[in-house]
Amino acid sequence: MANLLYLSDRNFSSEVLQSAQPTLVDFYADWCGPCRAIAPIIEEIAHELAGRLKVAKLDVDQNQEIALQYGVQSIPTLILFKNGREVERWIGYMSKSKLLSKIEPHLR
């Protein structure tokens, strides 16, 4: 999906920490069932909030450095960054409405 960015250890800083927009990062793995279940919700949010929220995915198996740096031990882990800092963290599957209710306050 065009509004979804795929991150790596190399572009994480420039795309997330230096982003002018709040950025939601989905730490996931292809083999993870709950990660696959939440993926369509992440894609919908990326589309619906385009221009207000940057949405990105980071494969923890291929980018272990960033996952370790942020202490990601369970997946999916969703971290919301704003002004280069982590402002919220959610672990596990959640509904679209619940996730949106947690993101919206940070977009004002």
List the end-to-end C-alpha distance of the chain, in Å, as a whole number: 25
Compute φ and ψ for 33, nearest 5 degrees: -60, -50
Catalytic residue among 4, 29, 32, 94: 32
Any idea how long the chain is? 108
15 is catalytic: no
Q: Is 51 assigned a catalytic role?
A: no
Q: Which of 35, 41, 56, 78 is catalytic?
A: 35
Q: What is the DSSP letter of 61?
A: T
DSSP state at residue 98: H
Catalytic residues: 32, 35
